Each structure stands twice: as structure tokens, then as C-alpha cells.
């Protein structure tokens, strides 16, 4: 399956890949981040149940806090 993760191509053999499993696979922090799939933010409560499909664009949006 070919995905785009943070604007970079990402190839994976994982089946039934959810947002949660992807974050784990790419060793992303899971606290203090939001995740968008194809320009829509997926709420954290839905990460376990949201399956990714070939061609999906995933963006990890960290909670920057400076002002």
C-alpha cells in the first residue's frame, strides 16, 4: 500500500492499517498530536477504528504552543 505521510511517500505491507497502527509504525508521538487523513482531521477517539486505504494522505499536526 502506498500512502503519503507528512507529504512524503510511504510504502507499507501492513494489512488493515489503522491510524493508530500507522502512528506506531512510523514511531510518531501519539500525545499532543492531531492526525488528518485526506484533509480531514480524524479525532483521537476514532484512530483505532479508522482504516487507511491506498493513496491516502496522512498528516500529523503537532500541537505547537509558542506565541
Kindly tell me which residue out of 34, 49, 51, 55 binds another protein, with binding defined by CB under 8 A.
34
Kindly tell me which residue out of 43, 48, 51, 55 binds another protein, with binding defined by CB under 8 A.
43
Quote the DSSP letter at residue 7.
Answer: T
Quote the DSSP letter at residue 43.
Answer: P
Residue 14 in the binding site for another protein (CB under 8 A): no
Residue 63 in the binding site for another protein (CB under 8 A): yes
Contacts of 29 (CB under 8 A, 6+ apart): 62
Residue 28 in the binding site for another protein (CB under 8 A): no
Amino acid at each position: 500500500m502506498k500512502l503519503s505521510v507528512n507529504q512524503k511517500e510511504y510504502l507499507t505491507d501492513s494489512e488493515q492499517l489503522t491510524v493508530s497502527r500507522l502512528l506506531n509504525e512510523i514511531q510518531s508521538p501519539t500525545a499532543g498530536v492531531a492526525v488528518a487523513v485526506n484533509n480531514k482531521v480524524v479525532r483521537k477517539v476514532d484512530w483505532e477504528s479508522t482504516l487507511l486505504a491506498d493513496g491516502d494522505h496522512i498528516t500529523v499536526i503537532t500541537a505547537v504552543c509558542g506565541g
